[in-house]
Structures are given as C-alpha cells and as structure tokens.
Amino acid sequence: MGLSEQDFEQIKEHGVSLENIKKELAIFKKGIAKMELLEPATVGNGILRLTEEEFVENANFFDEHKSNLKLLKFVPASGAASRMFKFLTAFLNEFDIEKETINAYINRKKDTKLPVFIVGMEKLPFFDVIYSKLKEEFPDFDTLSRDYKNYYFIKFMLDSKYFDFASKPKGILPFHKYVSKIATPIEEHLYECGYYSSTNNKSYLHFTVSESHQEQFEQIINNVKDKVEKETHTSIEVSYSYQDKSTDTIAVNMNDKAFRTEDGKLLFRPGGHGALIGNLNRLDADIIFIKNIDNVILHNNEKIALYKKALAGVLLELQQQIFACLNLIDRYTAENNQIEEIKNFLKVKLNVDIKADFDLYTFENKIKFLKNILDRPIRVCGMVKNEGEPGGGPFWVKNAEKEISLQIVESSQVDLNNKKQVKIMANATHFNPVDLVCATKNYKNEKFNLHQFVDENSGFIVEKNYQGKDIKGYELPGLWNGAMANWLTVFVEVPLITFNPVKTVNDLLKEAHQSL
C-alpha cells in the first residue's frame, strides 16, 4: 500500500478501518463495474400508478393502522448551501464593477442564471433584510446605479462579514415568506411532521447535520417549535446525528496513489450520503419517512400529506402481507399451492425476479428461498415524471450474479461510453425525488441490520479538486441507491407537486416557494 508508520497512526486516529483503506485503494486501481441497465421502470412495468381515489384510500389505510406505530422523519441536512449560490460566487470572482457592466458580463459568460436572479431578487424571502443592511452600510444606497445596487446585494449576501449564505447549511436559510414571518426549511419540516408523520399526537424528527451546524439548527427549532406544536396539535421530539468520521474515504492522485497534503498527511474525504445508512440503522422506529432538507413547499401541506401518507399506506398493506407469508413459513404450515401464491405475490406486488429453475427446487429449498427474499427491509419510493432534472431514476438492472431487480440508478453508475446504456437511460420516464417511506423492522419486530443489505460494489469514483490539484475520491454506495439495493422495493408515481427542491437560489422564485 505504500503507507508509513505515521500513516497508520493517522488512520487509527481518524477512526477509519485499515481494511477499508486497502479495499478503497484496490477499487481505485481496478475501477468499479458499472450497472447494467435492462430498461427503464415505467408505469405498469415497475412503477405503480394510483388514481386520486386510491391515494385517498391508501392514506386512510395508513391513518387507520398507525396508532401503535412509532413514526419518524429522517432528513439528511449536513450539506452547505454552496451549490445553491455557485453561479453568484463565480460572478463575484470574475466580475469587476469598475471595468464592465453586469450586462456585458452576462453576454461574455453566456450566463443564463444571473439575469433570472436579478429580475426576480425582490421576490426572494431574504431581500428585505439584505436591502436594509445595504442602506445601513451605504446611506446613499438608493442613489447608486442599478449595477452597483445589484453587485453589492450579491456581495453582501455571500460575504463572510455579512450574510455568508453559501457557507451555511440549507436548512437554516430563509426559504419562504409568509404574511407574518420568514420560514426556513427546518420550520417547514417541523410542520410536515404534524401533518403526516405523527401518531397519537407524537412525532419524531431526525436531522443528520454537520456537528458545527447543530447549534444553529437548535436555535431555529427553539424559536418555532412551540408554535408549530400548538398549530399541529403534535409534540415533536427532535434528534441529531453526524456523518461518522470512520466512514470517510481516502483520496488518491490521478495515478491512483494515496494523495498527500502539503504536510505529507493522507487526505480523507466524507464518504457521501451513503455513509448515512449507519445513522439510519441506529434509529428505532416502525415507519421512517425520508426526505431531503430542501424539498419543502410554502403551501398545500395537506396535499403533500395526502401523498406521503398514501405511500405509507402502500407500505403498511404490503408489510402485513409479507409478515403473513413469513409467519406461515415459520409455522411450516405452507402447502404447495400457498408456495405458488407467495411466489406470485413476490413477482406481481414486489417486482422480484424468480429464478427460472425455482419450480425444480425441493419444498424445503423453496421455503428457504422465499423466506430469504421476504425477510428484508421494505421501501416504497415516490417517483415523479421526468422533467429533465439531474439525478437518479428507476430502472430494471442486472447484477453480477445475473439477478434482475428494480433500482434507483444515478448517471455516474452507468457506462456513458456505451451507447445502448445511454439510450436506455435517456428513455427513463420518471425521476427519483428522494421521497421514501421505509420499514426497518422484521416480522418479529426486531430491527434489521441495514448494513447487511448494502450492495458494496455500487460505490462511485469521483474526480475532485483539492487546492488546485486534481484528485480522485471514493463515495460509498448511495443511501437510496446501493445502500438500499437489497431491500424490498416498490415504486409509486406521485404528482410533481411533491417535488420542489431548491438546487439553486433561483428555484426560490418558482411558484411552489412564492406566496400567493
């Protein structure tokens, strides 16, 4: 491995497993096999489409059966908002107010995002507070030219001496402007707990955060929690966890040798959101809703709740059927005709590919096979129609063992040099909005060890830059990709209203984030 005694000490101090280091260095050298896409999952072929009436029925089913369940909402929220403001950071770095106009910069850079921001910025929820600060700093601010006003607005918004938005976590940023308040994503997630993730007037909300940001989350929650609880008639217990440093991965140079910083030390990078499978594994709940921090909406909480509860209703009904099958198998009372029914249930309801030679198995081996497939964590994933958003989508794939399954696949997992694979990916009809409802306990009410259901061969190699030097990093199998590859999986089409992420600051100008 070419590691020194000092390296071993650093590895031990960081808490990273030496075995993982060896595995990662080997991965860099031999690469990671790409996913083999067979075809996109579509409505009727891997994606379930419900009528509005069926959404209501499933939501009601959930409400009727949730009283004895502990419900928890899991929100990954550790990332900074730097990507939200990337085009504005580039503008500040490359624009000279003394030498050109903003319009000239836009034309020179062919920047399509900056003009949208400038035209709409007065509608942003934080416009007034920044404008007030500008007038405080520049008493003659109103007399400045439009270019100077726009330039200084952007500068104050991002400057570390003022608002420093790009360095803050998305969760604490002002997202929505109401008549009497400005709301952050944290506050919106608290409200959602009351609308769909509560039982017996009790809800649990868990954020994964950077340790340095937890205090900021707590301040916001302390300010709004009582009000939210009164309005939703729900007591909300909030907890936090961090991405474990032991899941960090080693970086290498472009020759696949361990990369070293200026002081000669190894460079470790966070292992990506796949590292959060450990955080999820430590939580104790019967039903877990997973949703990204930035996917919140200003209006229609009840409408959003309908679709979230409907997904949970689909999960609960499937879980009851799965548990009935497992209890039948456990009692060893299943007969051949029931084995056939269970096999068909797996194929039709759970999209499981049954091996062609299954009918040749002995009765005991059939039982063993079916139990192995059924006794797994369950996830029901909302899917929206593909509107050209970047990110993963639902596909039928074949793994190295020639097993066919439904998976959420990112473009980085696909061989983009293979025209056939690229064509299959381009034909995807749906997109993964990270809208999951999960059950992580078995039919004996015991928690699954979620690490046992990870496809360890589905990580990513990514190219990054460290202080001007090109490096390669390894990211663990994604939380809703390879980390859940061996879960029982059902995809359900949900309306676009459920997907309102804020990937750039301009997304806050969209209808879903604007007041009526």
Q: Are strands 268-269 and 249-250 parallel, antiparallel or unpaired?
A: antiparallel
Q: Are residues 424 and 501 in the same domain?
A: yes
Residues 114-121 have a mean pLDDT of 96
Residues 236-259 have a mean pLDDT of 92
Confidence of residue 190 (pLDDT cuts 50, 70, 90): very high
Q: Are residues 194 and 96 in the same domain?
A: no
Helix locations, 248-362, DSSP H: 277-281, 301-330, 336-349
Within a domain: 139:
yes
pLDDT at 391: 66
DSSP output for 329-356: HHTT---HHHHHHHHHHHHHHS-----T
Q: Are residues 328 and 344 in the same domain?
A: yes
Q: Are residues 272 and 299 in the same domain?
A: yes
Q: Are residues 320 and 388 in the same domain?
A: yes
Q: Domain residues for 129?
A: 85-168
Q: Are residues 113 and 260 in the same domain?
A: no
pLDDT at 300: 65
| pLDDT tens-digit series, residues 50-75 | 999 999 999 999 999 999 999 999 99
Within a domain: 11:
no
Q: Of 135, 168, 201, which residue is a domain's last? A: 168
| pLDDT tens-digit series, residues 149-171 | 999 999 999 999 999 999 999 99
Q: Are residues 115 and 54 in the same domain?
A: no
Helix, strand, or coil (residue 371): helix
pTM for the complete prediction?
0.94
Confidence of residue 90 (pLDDT cuts 50, 70, 90): very high
Q: Of 168, 188, 214, which residue is a domain's last? A: 168
pLDDT at 56: 97
Q: Are residues 334 and 385 in the same domain?
A: yes
pLDDT at 333: 65
Q: Are residues 270 and 197 in the same domain?
A: yes
DSSP state of 376: S
The answer to whether 278 and 247 have CB atoms below 8 angstroms apart is yes
Q: How many domains, the chain?
A: 2
The answer to whether 197 and 237 have CB atoms below 8 angstroms apart is no
Six token digits for residue 16: 């990273």
Beta bridge partners of 435: 291
Residues 238 and 207: their CA atoms lie apart, in Å, by 8
Q: Is 24 left (phi over 0), alpha (psi -120 to 50) or beta?
A: alpha
Q: What is the C-alpha end-to-end distance of the chain, expressed in Å?
A: 60
Residues 162 and 154: their CA atoms lie apart, in Å, by 11
Q: Are residues 306 and 345 in the same domain?
A: yes
**How distant, in Å, are the alpha carbons of 235, 313, 401 from that of 190?**
10, 21, 43
Q: Of 168, 191, 225, which residue is a domain's last? A: 168
Within a domain: 2:
no
Q: Are residues 458 and 502 in the same domain?
A: yes
Q: Are residues 151 and 215 in the same domain?
A: no
Within a domain: 425:
yes
Confidence of residue 78 (pLDDT cuts 50, 70, 90): confident
